[in-house]
Amino acid sequence: MAPNIPLEMELPGVKIVHAQFNTPMQLYSDDNIMETLQGQVSTALGETPVIRGTVVKARDKYRHPECFVCSDCNLNLKQKGYFFVEGQLYCEAHARARMRPPEGYEAVTVYPKC
């Protein structure tokens, strides 16, 4: 997707021209471009954004920083690392407590390479 030409969208009574050009390396993802276009369309239609201010995005969900906490101890997980266990956020200690390895195995935390 992400062409280097403007995208045009016709809505009742308004024409939106989205001119976020991509680089030759396709630096911007299709999701990023569509999210920006959706924001323009929502604004043109007079819709109010649901989330305002600073947010944390984890697993395609947006959370306010004060809501980005361990489900057990309410530790703020910002800059600390977080784990999903059955759809819930946990700090490392509580994620380990919920994910006991089989007898004879040891749990090892593996962090993604940036």
Each domain of the chain, given as residue ranges in start order, spans 56-99
Average pLDDT over residues 50-76: 83
pLDDT of residue 5: 67
Average pLDDT over residues 4-26: 67
Question: How far is C-alpha 68 from the geometric centre of its chain's CA atoms?
Answer: 12
Residue among 26, 54, 45 at smallest CA distance from 37: 45
Distance CA 17, CA 52 (A): 24
Distance CA 91, CA 17 (A): 44
pLDDT of residue 22: 56
Average pLDDT over residues 67-96: 88
pLDDT of residue 1: 47
pLDDT of residue 49: 55
Greater pLDDT, 74 or 2: 74
The CATH number of domain 56-99, selected from 3.20.20.70, 3.40.50.300, 3.40.50.1980, 2.10.110.10: 2.10.110.10
pLDDT of residue 73: 94
